[in-house]
Each structure stands twice: as C-alpha cells, then as structure tokens.
Amino acid sequence: MWTDEELSQRIDQTVEWLRTKVAEAKAEGVVVGISGGVDSAVVTGLCSQAFPGKCIGVIMPSHSDPEDVEDALWIAEGFEIRTLEVNLSGAHTQVMGQVKKGLESIGCNIVAEKMSQGNLKARLRMSTLYAVANAMNYLVVGTDNAPESYTGYFTKYGDGGVDLLPISSLTKTEVRAWARMLGLPMRIATRVPTAGLWPGQTDESELGITYDQIDRYLLGEEVPPEVRERIESLHRQSEHKRQMPPSFVLPKLERLD
C-alpha cells in the first residue's frame, strides 16, 4: 500500500497536471459532472484544488435516485465549488419516446431498449457538460478510472467524451485511498458503484466481475482464469472506444495523359 506522503504527492502532481493542461488549452477553468459516487467525488476534489473559484460541478439527474442528488450536493458543498442542477428526466423521456415511436413506424423491432436508454442518459449528460463548459471557456474533466478505461466500461461519446482524464490510471482501490486523503467519508468511498443508467443498475453486475478482481489483474496479480478471460474479452470488444473512428481514405486516381 501507499503511505500518506506518497498519496499526497500523487494528488499534488495530478492537480498540477490539471492546471498545466487547462493553461495549454487557454481555458479558464473546469467543469465536472458530480454523480455522488467516489470517482466523481475524487475528481471534484482534485478540480477544486486546481481551480478554486473556477470549478463548476454539474448535477444531472435523469429519473435518478434522490439520494444521488443529495450526495452530489454534499460533495460540492464540502469542496466549496459552485454547482448547477440540470434535470434531464424530461429530455430523456422525450427523445426516447420519439425514437421508439419512429422505429415502430418503420417496422423496426427494438432489441436493446435498456442499453439505448442508458447510453442516451450518458450522452445527454455529456452534452450538458459541454454546453456549460463552452459557455464559460472551461474544459470538461472526466471521471473514468483504470478498470473502466481498460474494460471499456464507459459510454462512447457519453462519459467517455471529455477533455481531461485525471484518474484513468488509478485502480478502484487507489481511488478510494485518494478519497480518504481528500477527506471524503467512508459512505462515499465505499458506495456501491453505479452509473445510474436504470433502476437497480450497478457497475459490477454489468461487468460480471468485481473492481477488486480487475484491480488485481491490472496490477499483474493472479486472478482465476475465467476472470482473466472476461477482462481480456471486455478489453478486446471495447478497443474501438479507445481509438479515433476509422477513416476511409480513397486511393488516388492515376492521371491519364
């Protein structure tokens, strides 16, 4: 494990990295979406240190558990950052309703409605973050950690569509250690991870493995063969999420003299 001095040093390095990247972009500050979970709480803490007075937390419920909003507000107040709440429930219902109606009108059978609804939530949230960031000349800071980045457990052009990723090299265990150093309580650090994409949804139930197992795999430790195969399969299947979209380049036509 890490000493408090080592953790503090790594946090300071990350804070300085955030300042450098924002300065390079000639931006004024940062925007972060706060969900109430430990990842967004840690990123909020980092952003508040890097940009006191120039950090905005955006809370975006979408048919969400009221407790998520309460925790998000508590986190923002603890780090003394400004917040705004944009309720996306109505927008989500309207867009999804029109999509379903349109597909049915052209004779299409909807085969993955839950996934479509969940990913739409993530993409509406990211669009909202960029609306705020563009208005303020801020950058959007993402909250994906190392297990999520490696397995592709993020929505393409949703929570994966950001300007900066300060904790994407941290295991979940490290994120929780940073949470302690930043003064967050155990109830936030040990909260059941969920993206809030639908009622009862949890990260680990979707992944089919635990964060602890992914952490150990990423650290080069021994894991059961079925766990290793699951992680490697998720990594292969999600490779497209970590790459720019492929571009077709037409061959040059030879000139005929």
pLDDT at 219: 96
Residue 243: strand, helix, or coil: coil
* 255 has pLDDT over 80: no
Q: Which among 159, 166, 173, 164 is positioned nearest to 219, based on CA atoms?
A: 173
pLDDT at 180: 94
Are 172 and 147 in contact by the 8 Å Cβ rule? The answer is yes
Reply yes or no on whether 148 is catalytic. yes
* 100 has pLDDT over 80: yes
pLDDT 10s digits, 234-247:
999 999 999 999 99
Averaged over 211-220, what is the pLDDT? 96
Q: What's the mean per-residue pLDDT of the chain?
A: 93
Averaged over 182-198, what is the pLDDT? 77
pLDDT 10s digits, 22-75:
999 999 999 999 998 999 999 999 999 999 999 999 999 999 888 889 999 999
pTM exceeds cut of 0.85? yes
Residue 158 pLDDT grade (very low, low, confident, very high; cuts 50, 70, 90): very high
* 189 has pLDDT over 90: no
Q: For residues 73 and 78, give the distance between their C-alpha atoms in angstroms, rounded to a whole number.
A: 9
Are 77 and 59 in contact by the 8 Å Cβ rule? The answer is no
Q: Give the gyration radius of the chain's Cα atoms.
A: 20
Averaged over 7-21, what is the pLDDT? 97
For residues 188, 201, 165, 186, the Cα torsion angle rounded to the nearest 10 degrees is 10
Active-site residue among 39, 159, 174, 215?
Answer: 39
Reply yes or no on whether 71 is catalytic. no
pLDDT at 103: 95
pLDDT at 218: 97
Active-site residue among 68, 71, 144, 148?
Answer: 148
